[in-house]
């Protein structure tokens, strides 16, 4: 219910849309579409171990394959959460360790030590 | 659609209905004794998420109305809803408005659960942290980061460097606090060895002095003083402790005089700087600024004023080559509700309240009074008592007498308290012992009501203000003193037909200078201004004024714009009969300033003011001034020492001394201890009236004036002066009204003994000393303790002065002096005397507040060390 500090309101398309949202006389004010953006990180086995080298092309190829498998599990999860009717942009990123990333992120945010 | 269009559309149409509803609801929770109103919609019907989103869009705007709407939405979400998520969103919205103090207040009041950040999602949390970092400033002297609002941040950023700065922001913007922090920073970490803080009234001077000392904490690093005595200044200039001097403009001149004009200041802060437009004292302020700039052209000056239109005006007199910048803000930090109260038809006890907004009026509810308000004073009193029952209520009246009566009426409507708070009874004690046993203030204070006007002794007035801030005094009835430079804000102001001075309806900017005090930032979310009888043209000849900002205009410029009036006054100023000079109130001070400027520069056309006025007028003025200057032998330095006193008057006085046929010793004032002191004052005042300026009018009252000056200098307490006057009336068989006599005596002390007498008597002495030297009678010149300083403080003995140098108010100093037998004690001697007896003070019948002041002053390390 709050506008982000980063929202760019110099764009007339956006301000016009906001006006339609607040305009009770307009039918458009009820037709609100909820959208979302999500970051999905998943453990990927294809990264080289510390110090070892790998070919970038191969990593890309491996990640494509993994992604196909992951999109299935994301789909079932969205259905379980009843979010499958909503427009959500999902950014899927393969990580050496999703848990490690989460811990590092929360620490950087100062939420958890 | 542009963003600005979206903002105004949102306000006018998009969220208008919901905004009206929450406005009505938030205003209603501020007011007491409203009748239940079934027509008011409940908060449950509001689409809060939508409204809060609108609020966050409006928060992006710079426009005052948009910002206010966003603040209203945030406040309403916090105060009116029970949903934690909505309250949290309201708090984030406050953060977007950089109103961190309001978030703190909501947490303190348990309207918001603690650890707001812990409940926010990642994105909002990031934004919040970033905002908090962006909106922080570093206080170098303490290493502390302060969270600030937009105005405070811009002030801090722009105050760096050597340029002159003029800052203006509404009353509740956290100006004073920030400026004091900055000042301390400059003196501790920066280059400034001597800083002067100018404030227009003695009340404000002592308030600032107290605040500075409290903020400093470590007084050995920096000296803070409000006495115009040279020692601390000299110490700071020669490598000793740096000093902050807090002065009125008159005191600055006193110190400059004592130092033979060698007063070099590094940093000058002028608070309430719009007062440069004040009748009679504005030009004295202007002169003070110019005088210090002449001595040190590298001086850095900072001007502060509340909600002015043109803060940059003050910068036009900066020396050539000095850069300048104005920092201006119109943002509100608290909601200010302007409410009009109109009597319901045929129902004298019911009053309809409506909120005035830009171009529209919103009904708020009906106020029910306890009693029928017959007459205007009762109307004011009863409405105030009803609507502001919970306290923090200020009532504006048009004079000291009216203030006393309205306060009395309010007190009768309040239940008698079962037990009286000890601080209230101490204030009552001080009023009884320090003024008079039957002073009306005492019984009122015991009920939590007080009145407040300019001529009251400062110790009593400050204690009233302090207890009002604490909430122990719930109703304070005040006069225009409040807009003349007292830093006092309130929750609710009640006003009907406000006048400024004697009878002039207030200009919109004066009214808003008063109304702006409603709303204490960080203590309340809202402030309320209740205007009674808005349709009555006697009360409000021009209606209830719309919001207006104060236009800064120098007194000298305003008078010069009268053109021919000024010319005529100057051309008549040289004549012999001073009592027939017309409009001297308006013209004397400025014409004196012009004459001195002419004497210094040879023509006012090269002075800074010339660029603001018509060249033809300046030429004519130059001619008229030239005629006067040709008759003047006294030098410009002597004339400069007495701002507002005309050099031609000084010359006439010198002429009179030269032709005086009697013994020259008869021209001198006599020691106040001697029998003929009083008679001498009478003849001196007569001489001043005849030759220098017709200051002590009407002449029939000169004996009374002389008596007051004599008693004041003798160090009599106010209580004693009042007692003597009552006795005199009784012996002479003259009828008198006690409240009037008390007020009259206070007025004489303030206006004659502390204002006119020091100004003209010190000029008299200067000219007389010049004459004595001319005739080879240096033996009669006594310069060690100037009469102006003596009168400013009302002391003539070394002991009394030492007590005041320790930081005591005159009232406390005099109370002690009545018990001290020696008149020649130094500061150390006084400390020793007090330390020996402090435990017996209560038994000596010294009021508790005075004992408290003595204890506070003496525990300051700088005093213990001596």
Mean pLDDT across the stretch B764-780? Answer: 94
d(CA A34, CA A86): 7
Q: Chain A: residue nearest B118 by CA?
A: A111
**With an 8 Å Cβ cutoff, is B602 touching chain A?**
no
Confidence of residue A111 (pLDDT cuts 50, 70, 90): low
pLDDT tens string B488-535: 889 999 999 999 877 788 888 889 888 988 998 889 999 999 999 999
Distance CA B448, CA B431 (A): 14
B542 touches chain A (CB under 8 A): no
* Whether pLDDT at A26 is above 90: no
Q: Residue A50 domain-assigned?
A: yes
Going through B392-443 in order, the beta strands assigned E by DSSP cover 393-396
Q: Does the pLDDT of residue B689 top 60, yes or no?
A: yes
Question: What pLDDT shows up at residue B866?
Answer: 36
Q: Is residue A91 part of a domain?
A: yes
Measure the CA–CA gap between B622 and B377, rounded to whole angstroms: 51
The CATH superfamily assigned to B150-328 is P-loop containing nucleotide triphosphate hydrolases (3.40.50.300)
Helix H, strand E, coil C: the string for B657-681 is HHCCCCCHHHHCCCCCCCCCHHHHH
Angle formed at CA B676 by CA B671 and CA B682, multiple of 5 degrees: 100
pLDDT of B799 > 50? The answer is: yes
Q: What residues in A contact B60, CB-CB < 8 Å?
A: 3, 9
Which pLDDT band holds residue B316 (cuts at 50, 70, 90)? very high
Q: What is the pLDDT of residue A58?
A: 84
B156-201: pLDDT as tens digits: 999 988 999 999 998 888 899 999 999 999 999 888 999 999 999 8
The reply to whether B150-328 and B336-532 are identical in fold is yes
ipTM, 2 decimals? 0.73
Residue B432: strand, helix, or coil? helix
Percent share of chain B, pLDDT over 90: 71
Overall number of domains in chain A: 1
Give the distance from residue A68's alpha carbon to the nearest chain B alpha carbon, in angstroms. Answer: 29
> Does A109 sit within 8 Å of B125, measured CB to CB?
yes
Work out whether strand B324-328 and strand B222-225 pair parallel, antiparallel, or are unpaired: unpaired
A9:B14 CB<8 A:
no
Q: Is the pLDDT of residue B417 over 80?
A: no
- Express each pLDDT in B639-687 by its tens digit: 999 999 999 999 999 999 999 999 999 999 988 878 889 999 999 999 9
CB B516 within 8 A of CB B274: no
Inter-residue contact B292 to B565 (CB < 8 Å): no
Kindly state the helix (H) or strand (E) to which residue B493 belongs, with its residue range: strand B492-495
Contact B298, B162 (CB under 8 A): yes
Task: State the Cα torsion B265-B270-B271-B273 to the nearest 10°.
Answer: 170
3-class DSSP assignment, residue B110: coil
Q: How far is the C-alpha of B7 from the C-alpha of B55, rounded, in Å?
A: 10
In whole angstroms, give the CA distance from residue B798 to residue B232.
18
Residue A89 lies in a domain: yes
Determine the Cα–Cα distance for residues B242 and B762; give it in Å rounded to an integer: 29
Write out the residue range of the structural domain in which residue A103 sits. 35-109
Domain for residue A90, yes or no? Answer: yes
Instruction: List the single residue in A with minimal CA-CA distance to B8.
Output: A19
Domain positions in chain B are 3-133, 150-328, 336-532, 555-653, 662-792, 797-865
Q: pLDDT digit string (tens) for B548-585?
A: 888 999 999 999 998 889 999 999 998 878 888 888 88
Taking CA–CA distances from A13, the nearest residue in chain B reads B1
What confidence tier does B865 reach under pLDDT thresholds 50, 70, 90?
very low
Compare all CA atoms of chain A with the CA of B1 and give the residue at the minimum distance: A12
How far is the C-alpha of B653 from the C-alpha of B760, rounded, in Å? 11
Query: Burial code of B197-207, b = ≥16 C-beta within 10 A, e = fewer?
Result: bbbbbbbbbbb
The pLDDT score that the predictor gives to residue B218 is: 66
Which candidate, B305, B279, B277, B301, places its Cα nearest to that of B291? B301
Spatial separation of the C-alpha atoms in residues B453 and B438, rounded to whole Å = 18
Is the residue at A87 inside a domain? yes
CA distance B15 to chain A (A): 7
Q: Which of B3, B127, B130 sits opposite A10 (nearest CB)?
A: B3
Chain A contacts to B (CB-CB under 8 A): 1-6, 9-10, 12, 15-16, 18-19, 21-23, 109-111
Partner residue opposite A18 with nearest CB, options B6, B122, B125: B6
Q: Tell me which chain B residues have a C-beta less than 8 angstroms from the C-beta of A15.
A: 1-3, 5-6
Residue B783 has pLDDT above 80, yes or no: no
Of all residues in chain B, the percent with pLDDT exceeding 70 is: 98
Q: In angstroms, what separates the C-alpha of A18 from chain B's closest C-alpha?
A: 8
Among B4, B14, B49, B84, pick the best mutation site for testing chain A contact (most A Cβ within 10 A): B14
- Which chain A residues are Cβ-neighbours of B6 within 8 angstroms? 9, 15, 18-19
- Do the Cβ atoms of A5 and B127 come within 8 Å? yes
Tell me the pairing of strands B242-247 and A87-95: unpaired
**From A24, which residue of chain B is nearest by alpha-carbon distance?**
B14
B322 inside 8 A of chain A by CB: no
Q: Do the Cβ atoms of B1 and A6 come within 8 Å?
A: no
pTM of the predicted model, to two decimals?
0.88
Helices (H), ranges, A1-113: 12-22, 56-80, 98-109
CATH superfamily of B336-532: P-loop containing nucleotide triphosphate hydrolases (3.40.50.300)
Checking if the pLDDT of B387 tops 60, the result is yes
Q: What is the mean pLDDT of residues B114-141?
A: 88
Out of B1, B48, B124, closest to residue A19 by CB:
B1
Name A71's Cβ contacts closer than 8 Å, sequence gap at least 6. Answer: A92
Decide if B49 touches A, using CB distance below 8 A. Answer: yes
Q: Do B1 and A9 lie within an 8 Å CB cutoff?
A: no
């Amino acid at each position: 219910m709050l506008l982000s500090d980063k929202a760019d309101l110099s764009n007339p398309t956006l301000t016009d849309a906001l006006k339609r949202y607040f305009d009770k006389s307009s039918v458009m004010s009820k037709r609100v579409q909820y959208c979302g953006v999500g970051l999905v990180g998943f453990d990927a086995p294809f990264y080289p171990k510390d110090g070892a080298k790998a070919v970038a092309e191969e990593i890309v190829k491996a990640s494509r394959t993994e992604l196909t498998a992951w999109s299935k599990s994301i789909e079932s999860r969205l259905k379980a959460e009843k979010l499958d009717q909503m427009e959500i942009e999902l950014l899927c990123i393969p990580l050496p360790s999703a848990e490690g990333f989460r811990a590092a992120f929360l620490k950087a945010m100062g939420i958890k030590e | 659609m542009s963003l600005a269009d979206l903002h105004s559309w949102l306000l006018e149409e998009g969220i208008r209905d919901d905004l009206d509803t929450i406005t009505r609801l938030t205003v209603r929770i501020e007011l007491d004794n409203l009748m239940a109103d079934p027509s008011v919609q409940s908060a449950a019907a509001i689409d809060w998420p939508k409204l809060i989103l609108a609020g966050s869009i409006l928060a992006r705007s710079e426009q005052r109305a948009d910002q206010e709407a966003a603040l209203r939405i945030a406040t309403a979400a916090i105060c009116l809803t029970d949903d934690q998520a909505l309250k949290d969103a309201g708090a984030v919205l406050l953060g977007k408005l950089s109103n961190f103090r309001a978030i703190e207040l909501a947490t303190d009041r348990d309207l918001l659960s603690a650890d707001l950040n812990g409940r926010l999602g990642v994105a909002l949390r990031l934004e919040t942290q970033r905002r908090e970092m962006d909106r922080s400033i570093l206080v170098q002297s303490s290493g502390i980061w302060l969270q600030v609002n937009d105005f405070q941040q811009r002030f801090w950023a722009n105050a760096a460097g050597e340029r002159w700065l003029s800052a203006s922001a509404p009353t509740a913007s956290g100006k004073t606090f920030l400026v004091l922090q900055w000042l301390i920073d400059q003196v501790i970490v920066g280059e400034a060895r001597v800083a002067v803080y100018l404030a227009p009234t003695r009340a404000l001077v002592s308030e600032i002095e107290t605040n500075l000392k409290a903020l400093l904490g470590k007084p050995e690093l920096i000296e803070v003083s409000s006495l115009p005595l040279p020692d601390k200044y000299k110490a700071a200039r020669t490598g000793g402790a740096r000093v902050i001097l807090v002065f009125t403009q008159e005191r600055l001149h006193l110190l400059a005089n004592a130092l033979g004009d060698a007063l070099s200041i590094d940093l000058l802060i002028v608070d309430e700087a719009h007062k440069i437009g004040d009748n009679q004292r504005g030009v004295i302020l202007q002169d003070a600024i110019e005088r210090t700039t002449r001595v040190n052209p590298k001086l850095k000056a900072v001007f502060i004023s509340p909600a002015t239109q043109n803060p940059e005006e003050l910068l036009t007199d900066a020396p050539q080559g000095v850069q300048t910048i104005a920092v201006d803000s119109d943002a509100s930090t608290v909601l200010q509700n302007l409410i009009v109260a109109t009597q319901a038809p045929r129902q004298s006890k019911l009053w309809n309240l409506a909120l005035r907004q830009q171009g529209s009026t919103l009904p708020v509810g009906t106020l029910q009074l306890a009693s029928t308000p017959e007459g205007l004073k009762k109307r004011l009193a009863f409405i105030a008592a009803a609507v502001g029952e919970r306290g923090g209520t200020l009532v504006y009246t048009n004079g000291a007498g009216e203030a006393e009566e309205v306060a009395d009426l309010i007190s009768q409507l309040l239940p008698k308290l079962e037990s009286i708070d000890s601080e209230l009874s101490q204030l009552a004690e001080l009023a009884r012992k320090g003024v008079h046993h039957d002073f009306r203030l005492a019984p009122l204070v015991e009920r939590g009501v007080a009145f407040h006007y300019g001529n009251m002794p400062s110790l009593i007035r400050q204690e009233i203000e302090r207890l009002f801030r604490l909430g122990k005094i719930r109703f304070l009835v005040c006069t225009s003193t409040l807009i003349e430079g007292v830093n006092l804000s309130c929750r609710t102001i009640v006003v009907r037909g406000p006048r400024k001075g004697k009878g002039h309806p207030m200009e919109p900017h004066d009214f808003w200078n008063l109304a702006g005090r409603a709303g204490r930032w960080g203590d309340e979310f809202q402030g309320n201004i209740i205007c009674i009888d808005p349709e009555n043209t006697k009360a409000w000849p021009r209606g209830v004024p719309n919001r207006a900002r104060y236009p800064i205009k120098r007194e000298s410029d305003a008078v010069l714009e009268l053109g021919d009036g000024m010319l005529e006054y100057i051309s008549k100023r040289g004549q012999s009969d001073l009592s027939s000079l017309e409009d001297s109130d308006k013209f004397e001070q400025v014409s004196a300033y012009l004459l001195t400027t002419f004497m210094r520069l040879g023509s006012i056309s090269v002075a800074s003011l010339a660029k603001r006025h018509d060249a033809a007028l300046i030429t004519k003025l130059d001619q008229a001034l030239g005629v006067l200057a040709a008759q003047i032998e006294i030098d410009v330095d002597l004339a400069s020492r007495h701002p507002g006193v005309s050099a031609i008057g000084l010359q006439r006085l010198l002429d009179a001394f030269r032709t005086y046929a009697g013994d020259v010793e008869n021209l001198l004032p006599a020691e106040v201890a001697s029998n003929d002191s009083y008679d001498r004052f009478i003849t001196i005042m007569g001489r001043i009236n005849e030759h220098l300026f017709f200051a002590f009018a009407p002449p029939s009252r000169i004996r009374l004036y002389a008596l007051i000056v004599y008693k004041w200098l003798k160090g009599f307490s106010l209580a004693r002066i009042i007692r003597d006057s009552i006795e005199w009336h009784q012996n002479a068989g003259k009828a008198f009204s006690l409240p009037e006599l008390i007020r009259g005596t206070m007025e004489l002390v303030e206006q004659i003994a502390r204002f006119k007498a020091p100004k003209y008597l010190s000029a008299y002495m200067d000219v007389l000393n010049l004459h004595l030297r001319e005739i080879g009678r240096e033996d009669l010149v006594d310069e060690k303790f100037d009469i102006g300083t003596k009168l400013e403080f009302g002391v003539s003995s070394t002991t009394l002065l030492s007590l005041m140098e320790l930081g005591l108010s005159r009232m406390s100093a005099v109370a002690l002096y009545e018990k001290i037998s020696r008149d020649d004690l130094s500061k150390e001697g006084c400390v020793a005397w007090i330390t020996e007896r402090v435990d017996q003070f209560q038994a000596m019948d010294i009021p508790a507040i005075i004992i408290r002041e003595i204890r506070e002053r003496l525990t300051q390390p700088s005093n213990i060390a001596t």
